[in-house]
């Protein structure tokens, strides 16, 4: 996927097809794209700087966010520093509700916010359907790219367009119940081979315990494949995709996961629910590979585990160093934002996510626990070497684990422009096979065929590993 140039022009037919796709996948097209082009801004980096310094022009921006509680003090700090830019800040609730609300107002072409919080694995559908502003140009690329980590900056691009400023980052870590492993004389796993071998011993000694869980959450599932360098798909352009879900390294890893389920190493199940949390407390799972925000979630929801856990690097695969995954949030400007407001909107999202004072505000507000994508945070050795002081984890170098993982994020990866439909197919076809008698390989082949049909029916050029 190229990061340079503007997003390619599409035919009226393709725009109509993507609009239809967006409707069925949960994203609706913005009226601004019905002329066959993505909404494109001509705002330059200098325009953005001028929007901050020209106090003669008062601007009011409506901003929607699902991380509103964490973000609100920093938004107020922006308004205090730049009082000529007023922020109408709206807490849209949980992320799922947030995206549905944004979809609804875009579809109605009424009450669309100027700025909207997005996720790095969800914005693609909004971008393709024309709901987000593409502000790619050489001046912004040159000025902004150095403000964020290379990985995070790459993630807010799609098919040649630029659709946001990276906010937080979410590298993977392995949350390990060291007390359980010690009880069974097992080692903290460093590879998937270790997970399998140690898991066989654990489950044999206690059939109520598993080395880990294969969670029925699409992000959890794809993170594992990304971390072992197994491509599930490739985006060649805005209307050209390849599906590689059932060949090569992807198929090999799927076969391995099924083997782990069959032999009692992993258990298929739901994650991030009350039942899952009870299982965590009860010690059902000796490890849990997840994004770094889980570290604070453990502290909040499982205080009884204090001192019993360590945070380790994700496992390697087949002798190759692990490749982490990272998604995170981003701030985008909607395509409906009036042209005269766009420079101020871009100035706001860039300041919020990269300015040194803003990053400090994020940390002050969130007890130093918001893992930012900005270079001023990622390049800060004090942050990288910050030690745990509350004793919750048995190792005090948790932050160093996160930073090392961020350094190893697999950049040979992108998300399809219809991830909502991928999630539908995942839940219908793949999740039911996540058990000891399942057929994950067959499910992946079936899911790929369904996605191929869906994409072709909606105007995409699609090739698969079976073609």
Biggest CA-to-CA distance, the chain: 73
Q: Across the chain, what does the average pLDDT equal?
A: 91
For residues 303 and 29, the model is more confident at 303
Q: Which two tokens stand for residue 356?
A: 């040194």
| The model's pTM | 0.89
Would you say residue 336 has pLDDT above 70? yes
Euclidean distance between CA atoms 25 and 4, whole angstroms = 28
pLDDT digits (tens, 9 = 90+) for 35-79: 334 678 999 999 999 999 999 999 999 999 999 999 999 999 999
| Residue 247 pLDDT | 94
Query: Cα separations (Å) of 94 from 69, 101, 227, 264, 365?
Result: 11, 11, 27, 34, 19
| Residue 20 pLDDT | 42
Secondary structure class of 34 (helix, strand, coil)? coil
pLDDT digits (tens, 9 = 90+) for 239-289: 899 999 999 999 999 999 999 999 999 999 999 999 999 999 999 999 999
For residues 39, 45, 49, 55, the Cα torsion angle rounded to the nearest 10 degrees is -40
Return the half-sphere exposure (C-beta side, CA atoms, 13 A cut-off) of residue 399: 18
| Residue 38 pLDDT | 62
Q: Which two tokens stand for residue 458?
A: 């909606």
């Amino acid at each position: 996927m190229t990061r340079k140039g503007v997003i390619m022009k599409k035919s009226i037919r393709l725009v109509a097809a993507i609009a239809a796709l967006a409707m069925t996948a949960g994203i609706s097209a913005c009226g601004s794209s019905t002329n066959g082009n993505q909404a494109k801004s001509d705002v330059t980096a200098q325009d953005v700087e001028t929007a901050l310094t020209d106090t003669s022009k008062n601007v009011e921006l409506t901003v929607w966010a699902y991380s509103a509680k964490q973000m609100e003090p920093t938004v107020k700090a922006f308004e205090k520093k730049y009082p000529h830019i007023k922020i109408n800040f709206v807490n849209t609730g949980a992320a799922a509700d947030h995206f549905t609300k944004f979809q609804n107002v875009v579809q109605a072409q009424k009450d669309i916010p100027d700025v909207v919080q997005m996720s790095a694995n969800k914005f693609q559908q909004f971008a393709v359907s024309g709901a987000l502003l593409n502000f790619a140009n050489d001046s912004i690329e040159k000025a902004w790219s150095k403000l964020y980590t290379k990985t995070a900056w790459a993630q807010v691009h799609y098919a040649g367009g630029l659709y946001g400023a990276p906010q937080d980052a979410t590298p993977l870590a392995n949350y390990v119940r060291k007390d359980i492993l010690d009880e069974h004389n097992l080692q903290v796993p460093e590879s998937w081979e270790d997970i399998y071998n140690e898991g066989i011993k654990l489950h044999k000694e206690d059939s109520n315990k598993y080395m880990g869980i294969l969670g029925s959450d699409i992000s959890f599932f794809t993170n594992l494949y990304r971390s072992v360098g197994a491509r599930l798909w490739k985006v060649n352009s805005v209307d050209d995709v390849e599906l590689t879900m059932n060949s090569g390294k992807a198929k090999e890893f799927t076969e391995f996961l099924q083997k782990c389920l069959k032999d009692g190493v992993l258990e298929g199940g739901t994650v991030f629910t009350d039942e899952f949390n009870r299982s965590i407390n009860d010690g059902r799972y000796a490890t849990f590979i997840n994004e770094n925000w889980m570290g604070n979630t453990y502290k909040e929801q499982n205080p009884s585990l204090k001192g019993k856990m360590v945070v380790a690097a994700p496992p390697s695969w087949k002798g190759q160093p692990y490749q982490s995954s990272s998604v995170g949030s981003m701030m985008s400007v909607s395509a409906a934002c009036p042209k005269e407001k766009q420079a101020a909107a871009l100035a706001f999202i860039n300041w919020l996510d990269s300015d040194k004072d803003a990053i400090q505000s994020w940390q002050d507000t969130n007890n130093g626990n918001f893992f930012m994508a900005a270079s001023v945070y990622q390049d800060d050795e004090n942050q990288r070497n910050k030690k745990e002081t509350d004793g919750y984890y048995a190792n005090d170098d948790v932050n160093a684990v996160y930073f090392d993982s961020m350094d190893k994020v697999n950049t040979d990866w992108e998300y399809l422009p219809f991830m909502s439909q991928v999630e539908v197919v995942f839940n219908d076809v793949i999740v039911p096979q996540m058990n000891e008698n399942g057929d994950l390989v067959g499910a992946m082949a079936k899911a790929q065929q369904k996605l191929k049909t869906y994409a072709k029916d909606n105007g995409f050029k699609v090739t698969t590993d079976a073609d």
